[in-house]
Amino acid sequence: MLINSKYKFTNTKSRSVYEIISEDGEMSRRDILYVIKQVCQIEDIVQYGEFIHPRNIMINTNGVVTLVKSELPFSTREAYIPPENDRFDTIKPSAILYALGITMLFMATGNERKTGLDSHQDDNQLFRLIQTCIDFDIKARL
């Protein structure tokens, strides 16, 4: 179960990953993998592909992870769209992997820049997973 005691749920039953990272700091590898696993188990995740963003991933006090369909401005979603797509492309599995990778990067570093990943090279497993998901080469991602 996720709910680390450092994550504050005062006066609320759920918070977005974005709120948790912004207010409580980076997540541990265990928590990152827990959240991503829960997102990947969402039925028909392809329908949610364009909504994979830390602002749309909600965690409740019991550790249940949900993905909400909430329209975000393109400027907010841009980092989560793979380089081979534009904002009007159909969501493909490679695009979902990219969005999940950038989400993990944000959860681990607090930002969406790939340069932040260098500080996590000591956690080889998480580093390789994120690096694979955000690879510019589609074939390497799959």
Q: Which amino acid is at 29?
A: R
Tens place of pLDDT per residue across the chain (142 aa): 455 566 777 777 889 999 999 999 999 889 999 999 999 888 877 776 678 899 999 998 888 899 988 888 888 888 988 888 876 677 788 888 999 999 999 999 998 887 767 666 677 888 889 999 999 888 888 7
What's residue 51's pLDDT? Answer: 81
Domains of the chain: 14-141 (1.10.510.10)
Between CA 70 and CA 55, with CA 113 as vertex, the angle to 5 degrees is 15
Which two tokens mark 33?
């993998």
Residue written as tokens 């994979």? 52
Residues comprising the chain, all counted: 142
CA 68/CA 16 separation, integer angstroms: 10
Residue with tokens 């690096």: 131
